[in-house]
Amino acid sequence: MYDYNEKAVREQLKCHDSFYLYDERIIKKHINELKEGFKNETIIYSVKNNPNTHVLDTVFSSGIGADAASLAEVYYAYDRGLPKDMIYFSCPGKTIKDIEESIDKAVIIADSINEIKVIQTIAEARNIHVNVGMRINPDFSFFGEGKGSPSKFGVDEDQAIAFIKNNSCSNIIINGIHVHLHSQELSADILSGYHKKMFALARRIQDKSGATLDYINFGSGLGITFAESNKPLNLSAVAASFEAERAEYIKDHPDTRFIIESGRYMSGKAGIYAAKVIDRKVSYGKNFVILKNTLNGFARPSVARMLAAVTGGEEPEIMYEPMYTGRSSFQFLPITDNTETETVTLVGCLCTGTDVIAQDIVMPHLEPGDGIVITNAGAYAAVMTPMQFASLEKPAELFLKEDGTVLS
């Protein structure tokens, strides 16, 4: 059973044709799980997955920092009073403006050697010294024993070591590293294996380059259940293995800070998307239920169906995060008082025939005014949807507080 507040959804369907509802109680529950597991680590929230104002307020007031993927996201955290060492700005292709504006507000994680040189020019002009982190493309793979592979992210491990060793940028101190290779992992063994390789990487970089690393940012990877058949990640097992590695590591490096990033683990299961039934019809014997804003309200269920259509119904084995997780990643829950069932096709109100979210499924008979709730809509949902298509009214983004009030 998907945990959400059906009563609040029914209430909001009276005044909104389509909306997201994020639940403070569930966000806090997941934050507490992370804090309980990673007691000695700094946890930061990947803002890009859901930058809703009330979600950010909840997260940042819980002692969680920010993983910012743009200058705007740096400001979301900075304007809420987060100190510089709780805001990490990591993305490829930062502009000069991005760096000039963020340099005193966030810890910049440089994504390339060129970027470090740009930071050097700015630091030199301001006559300041800057601690900069480096995103590393390590010489190992997330899974198993594989070696490194080409990537647009970060600096290859050997290049990073060579650069730090002979650092010619006199205003730059490289004092931290960041790696993020993979999202949505549900195997505790695989995640723990990755963490082990990260501890070894930090040792290698320090040994070979002479750097002192004040922090190691392990990135994310923490997965959440999508399909009903998914087995939840055993977070306590991941955390216990991490703690064992950390205890060893700090024997040699007692002042290191450890950073864990997460987006979806905090917010993903805390959101639903609701679309109202606007119309229905029978066409050549087939029941169609027409919903408000599907592809243009919450795109990923339509993307999943599109992929099923173009691959002949076979589930592509590869996830394409955060656009595609799997074919059965979303459940469609009817909001109606009718109990008698029928076979229906659920479509949206766009002027394209591909705006279908479910075909020939059995549902209670839905009438205009009823609704459909789509699950797993708290992360990479509203932000990844082409809401401007056909200039339809956009879904509302609502926030259900623990005390039951709803904020828009």
Ligand X SMILES: *Cc1c(COP(=O)(O)O)cnc(C)c1O
User: Applying CB under 6 A, which residues contact ligand X?
Assistant: 46, 48-49, 67, 69, 90, 180, 183-184, 219-220, 222, 261-265, 379
Min dist CB 266 to ligand X, Å, is 8
Min dist CB 197 to ligand X, Å, is 16
Residue whose beta carbon is closest to ligand X: 263
Instruction: Specify the residue, 382 or 392, whose C-beta has the smaller distance to ligand X.
Output: 382
Of 93, 61, 84, 87, the closest CA to residue 73 belongs to 87
Instruction: Specify the residue, 133 or 297, whose C-beta has the smaller distance to ligand X.
Output: 133
Min dist CB 68 to ligand X, Å, is 10
Min dist CB 308 to ligand X, Å, is 23
Is the Cβ–Cβ distance between 181 and 194 less than 8 Å? yes
Instruction: Specify the residue, 183 or 294, whose C-beta has the smaller distance to ligand X.
Output: 183
Instruction: Specify the residue, 12 or 184, whose C-beta has the smaller distance to ligand X.
Output: 184
Min dist CB 250 to ligand X, Å, is 23
Report how far apart, in Å, the C-alpha atoms of 233 and of each of 96, 124, 133, 189, 324 are: 40, 46, 29, 10, 19
Min dist CB 203 to ligand X, Å, is 22
Instruction: Specify the residue, 265 or 330, whose C-beta has the smaller distance to ligand X.
Output: 265
Report how far apart, in Å, the C-alpha atoms of 251 and of each of 246, 254, 389 are: 9, 6, 56
Instruction: Specify the residue, 221 or 297, whose C-beta has the smaller distance to ligand X.
Output: 221
Across-strand partners of 271? 22
Instruction: Report the DSSP pairing between strands 65-68 and 87-90.
Output: parallel
Min dist CB 88 to ligand X, Å, is 9
Is the Cβ–Cβ distance between 122 and 172 less than 8 Å? no
Please enumerate in sequence order all residues whose Cβ is within 8 A of that of 43, keeping only pairs 6 or more positions apart, or say none.
31, 34, 35, 63, 64, 65, 259, 260, 261, 262
Instruction: Specify the residue, 174 or 290, whose C-beta has the smaller distance to ligand X.
Output: 174
Instruction: Specify the residue, 56 or 347, whose C-beta has the smaller distance to ligand X.
Output: 56
Min dist CB 378 to ligand X, Å, is 10
Q: How far apart are CA 159 and CA 174, in angstroms?
A: 13
Instruction: Specify the residue, 17 or 73, whose C-beta has the smaller distance to ligand X.
Output: 73
Q: How far apart are CA 335 and CA 49, in angstroms?
A: 27
Rg (CA), the chain: 23
Q: How far apart are CA 353 and CA 305, in angstroms?
A: 13
Other C-beta atoms within 10 Å of 3: how many?
12
Is the Cβ–Cβ distance between 77 and 59 less than 8 Å? no
Instruction: Specify the residue, 163 or 265, whose C-beta has the smaller distance to ligand X.
Output: 265
Question: Which residue carries 């070696």 as its tokens?
Answer: 147
Task: Supply the DSSP symbol for 274.
Answer: E
Min dist CB 90 to ligand X, Å, is 5
Of 209, 215, 207, the closest CA to residue 161 belongs to 209
Min dist CB 322 to ligand X, Å, is 7
Is the Cβ–Cβ distance between 174 and 132 less than 8 Å? yes
Residue 375 Cα to chain centre, angstroms = 16
